[in-house]
Structure 1
Amino acid sequence: MSSTRQVPETSSMSRDELSADDAWQALRHHGGWTLVREAFLRFRYGDGFSHARALGLQLCLAIVPFLIALSGLAGKLGVKEGGDVVADTVLALTPGASEQVVHDLLAPGDRGEDAGELALALGLITGLLALATAMAQIERGANRIYGVERDRPAHLKYARAAILAAVAGIPALTGFLMLVAGDAMGASVRTRYPGWGDTVESIWTVARWPASILLVVTAVAAIFRFAPRRRQPAFSWLLFGAALSTALWWGISALLALYVQGSGAFGATYGALTGIMALLLWANATGIVLFLGIAFSAQLEAYRVGVPGPIKPDTWAPPVPADR
């Protein structure tokens, strides 16, 4: 149960939805540090850490099957080079201690076409179900942060989650891979496709940064808009929280990658499980920064309507013994 104050639907107070100008005015009026502190309180008392852990687990269950599915799909369609690009990109992000495990997973080699078809089918089904469940978990966490105590009915909740997984979850993951694995992806394409010229390479090197950031921010803002069980403000209002989540996401991911790749102790401790442990840490951090961005947007909207604070007063008191 959440102990956060409910945020009234400010978009229903007038005919005009809240926009980015309204968000900027509210941010300047109340101050950035005050908003960050109270957004964290809303995140904490909305049980944000627990929801982040649950979301991280679902992301781990979704990402690996999707990678298998991409490899299998490329082979099934007769585009072996495409599957090799996927494998090369993943291997470039994999710590050395677990590189052989990931290589065996993504490169079935002589196991035959049937193994590729099985990997494709199981990867797509498992990945889609896990990603849809992750979107449903985002709804639950967002509802508690906004002070909404009950989710949508199950059939509506998971139908919406499946749509969000397709139109927002996959683009967000693609944009993230472009950010952190763009160099490895470009190097693999140059190797697999000799026609990759210097001009195209230069365009890719420059354009992947703004394109990936725009893709991630837009996808995250779409999740902020359509996941909670409430009428949300305008898309431009939610871009503030989405941009904050994206910036934290990119920074934490970069620091984690530097630590895992540069620290011999991490690989020596976990051995062949290094890649799995790094994925678990990354997924948990992803859930935290995503719900922090939602809490930021919620508290900014709470300021707009004059909610006195992010959390309800503590009414608990120790029981009084009967003899008193």
Structure 2
Amino acid sequence: MSAARAAGAPGKAGSGAPETPAQLPPRAWWGVLKRTVGEFRRDNVADWAAALTYYAVLSVFPALIVLVSLSGLVGQDVISTILSQVAAIAPQDVTNLVEQQVGNLRRSGGTGLVAIFGLLVALWSASGYIAAFVRAGNAIYDIEEGRPFWKLTPLRVGLTLVFVVLMAASAVIVTFTGELARVAGEALGFGETAVTVWNYAKWPVLLLIASALVMLLYWAAPNVRQPGFPWISPGGVLAVLLWIVVSLGFAVYVANFGSYNKTYGTLGAVVVFLVWLWLSNMAILLGAEFDAELMRAKKIAAGHPPTAEPYAEPRDPAEEDPDRPEDDGVSRLG
């Protein structure tokens, strides 16, 4: 290891190092905000969000195949309920596109074999999304991947399965409305009150699930050693809030000012869907960038040189490449 890299190697925090972001002084928070904006551009976060959008699209439509194929088991009312809840958070053009594809799949006739094929493709695409997020997370933390194949593969599979389970739980929560909530309320002795309460309570529950997904990605994806699982972080809160604002704002823009249909014709709805996914992924990555800069601020408070990289301790150090030019971080943070 060269002297420059050794000087920038993350060490153990001293006794005076802040353990939580709340212990950082106000001036440090201002530095975190400035570096987050600068690193957002230098880390090419918009490009990483585009890569994540690609894998997200690959997994969405196979998931629709599974949904339509299972409609004979769960009933068409359940499918309609899910689509109506999608309309509550997504731009109208996105909702119309999804409903159109669901209708086309229903007319083509889904079978059990088609459902299995769709599920396998959706899982493979979701695994690709996780792999892309791993690479994006490493870029955000300015750290190289050092985990071997036999560690990364179980990580990808595990995160994918957890992702699918939580998404399925979200679908159950969304469909647990109307008659289902009424029956459950009567069985528990709450009557119509259960329907009213659940119609409002389900949204915070869905936000908690979304937050859990984001925090899991932030914690497990990058090759960064974390002190423990952060059940909540400033970056995670920022990501969820930004996603809500971006979704609502983009829906209003498309409904009132957007001209995608005039520009792209019949592809207008597809373009709106892609832009919405891209903005959503940028919100998630911006939250990760914010958490990364908070970690840098804590390292600086512990005595780490402000411009030296890497500042995070890797889970598994990468092998040194003797032919790679040195990076002292000065040109990046200037």
TM-score for the superposition, normalised by structure 1: 0.75
- 2:145 aligned residue: 150
| Maintained 8 Å contact 1:172/1:220 | no
Q: Show the counterpart of 2:196.
A: 202
RMSD over aligned CA atoms reads 3.7
Q: 1:82 aligned to 2:78? A: yes
1:131 counterpart residue number: 126
What residue ranges of structure 1 are gaps of 5+ in the alignment? 316-324
Report SS of the residue matched to 2:111.
helix
For 2:178 and 2:330, the matched residues in 1 are separated by 60
Preserved CA contact (<8 Å) 1:60 1:279: no
Instruction: For residues 15-62 of structure 1, give each alpha carbon's deviation from its aligned partner in whole angstroms, at most 9, with x where no partner exists.
Output: 9x986xx11112x44343331111222333233222221111111111
1:177 and 1:48 map into 2 onto residues whose CA distance is 33
- Provide the residue aligned with 2:23 in structure 1: 25
Partner residue, 1:252: 246
Q: Measure the CA separation in 2 of the matches of 1:119 and 1:260.
A: 34
Specify the alignment match of 1:318 in structure 2.
none
Q: Secondary structure at the match of 2:49?
A: helix
Structure 2 unaligned blocks of 5 or more: 1-5, 185-190, 310-328
Aligned 8 A contact 2:140 2:288 in 1: yes
More helix by share: 1
Q: Assess, with a 3 A threshold, how the Cα gap between structure 1 residues 87 and 205 changes in structure 2: closer, same or farther.
A: closer
Amino acid at match of 2:297: Y
Give the number of aligned pairs. Answer: 295
Farther off after superposition, 211-220 or 230-239: 230-239
Q: Structure 1 122/172 Cα, relative in aligned 2: closer, same or farther at 3 Å?
A: closer
Does residue 65 of structure 1 match 2:62?
Answer: yes
Partner amino acid for 2:29? G
Query: Quick one: which amino acid aligns to residue 240 of structure 1?
Result: P
Q: TM-score, structure 2 length as denominator?
A: 0.73
- 1:230 matched to 2:227? The reply is no
CA contact (8 A) 1:62 1:128 kept: yes
Q: Matches of residues 159-238 of structure 1 in structure 2 within 5 Å? A: 159-168=154-163, 171=166, 190=178, 198-236=192-230
2: CA distance between counterparts of 1:62 and 1:45?
29
